[in-house]
Amino acid sequence: MAANALEQYAGSIATAARRASRRLAVSSGRQRDDAIRAIAASLREKASVLIAENAKDLATGGMGLYSDPCSRVSMGLITDPCHPL
Concatenating the DSSP letter of every residue in 10-25 gives: HHHHHHHHHHHHHHHH
- Is residue 53 assigned to a domain? yes
As for how many domains the chain has, the answer is 1
- Is residue 56 assigned to a domain? yes
pTM of the predicted structure, to 2 decimals: 0.54
Average pLDDT of the segment spanning 58-62: 72
Do 84 and 21 touch, CB atoms closer than 8 A?
no
- Is residue 80 assigned to a domain? no
Amino acid in position 68: D
> Predicted confidence band at 66 (pLDDT cuts at 50, 70, 90)?
low
Tell me: pLDDT of 84 over 50: no
- Owning domain of residue 25: 3-75
**CA distance to 5, 9, 15, 48, 74, per residue, from 83 (Å):** 14, 10, 10, 26, 13
- Is residue 38 assigned to a domain? yes
- Is residue 83 assigned to a domain? no
Report pLDDT for 59: 78
Average pLDDT of the segment spanning 71-79: 54
**Digit-coded pLDDT (tens) for 1-54:** 566 888 888 899 999 999 999 998 999 999 999 989 999 999 999 999 988 888
- Is residue 81 assigned to a domain? no
